[in-house]
Amino acid sequence: MTTRTKLEKVLQNLEKNPFYDKYASKIAKLQQTSPEEFLDRVENQEKKFQKKTAKQDEELKYFDSQAKPQLDQDKQPQQAQLNSIMKVDMIQDKTKDEIINIWKDYHKDKDYICGILAPEQFDRMFERGKRYPTFLLPLPRKHGYEFIVSQFYGLEIHMTPLLWYQAHKENAPECLTITHYTELKDDKGIILMRGEFDKKCINVQEAQCLVNELQLYYSTDNPKRLQLLENFSDQPDKFKHMDLIAQLETIQLELKNN
């Protein structure tokens, strides 16, 4: 294709652009004084656009491939079994502290976060989770905050970025799934927790941050945080995203002082 032919084709495409009239005089001047430079600029912009489009297509394919079945709150979910991770009968003779150390050591070099809950903490969290099954948590990012939707489902808590949730609703890909194992609750007085996170979305520190936030909202009796849960679920007109960020700063101070 000759330079003249390419130039004519580019101009035809540009004229379809809604902003063409605004820059028509500048385009005409550059076209007359340096047609080769004009073509180079247009082609570079086209390459950038194609690259951006390809990236968006790749992200869309990834989201679709990670989409999960819709959570049916009316259906009793299948409870995760601790035996799928470790043989429960082999740790029954261990003390509570020994089991805690085994649990932490097991997850040390794996792509999981883990933790231990006391029975009263666990009971309060999931009782409150029945009352407020869905909530929003702010996650600090380099240039601000990203909001994460959390959903209680059985003994699991599913988290997904708000933007993904808005696009896919309950089928949105998850960035973090938190599972609780209650087999040792009565005998040892502990509930084992672990979280599996998507490394393409969040890192281990961010996953732990979300777990800490969740537990402080659902396991403690802070009046302001309880009011935010209430507003989000029952009085959305009173709910403000900035109140979540203000609470996050308070939470970070609490964790720092503990």
Co-location of 49 and 168 in the same domain:
no
The answer to whether residue 29 is domain-embedded is: yes
Domain count for the chain: 2
Co-location of 100 and 183 in the same domain:
yes
Co-location of 136 and 247 in the same domain:
yes
**Residue where a domain terminates, one of 12, 47, 62:** 62
| pLDDT at 205 > cutoff 80 | yes
Measured distance CA(160)–CA(122) in Å, rounded: 22
The answer to whether residue 71 is domain-embedded is: no
Co-location of 23 and 106 in the same domain:
no
Co-location of 148 and 241 in the same domain:
yes
Supply the pTM of this predicted model: 0.70
**Residue where a domain terminates, one of 62, 78, 101:** 62
How does pLDDT run across 182-191, given as a tens digit for each residue?
Answer: 999 999 999 9
3-state class (DSSP) for residue 117: strand
Check if the beta carbon of residue 207 is closer than 8 Å to that of residue 112: no
Q: Please name the helix (run of DSSP H) or strand (run of DSSP E) that holds residue 217, with its range, or none.
A: helix 204-218
Co-location of 204 and 106 in the same domain:
yes
Co-location of 24 and 115 in the same domain:
no
How does pLDDT run across 101-160, given as a tens digit for each residue?
Answer: 999 999 988 889 999 999 999 999 999 999 999 999 999 998 899 999 999 999 999 999
Residue 29 lies in domain: 1-62
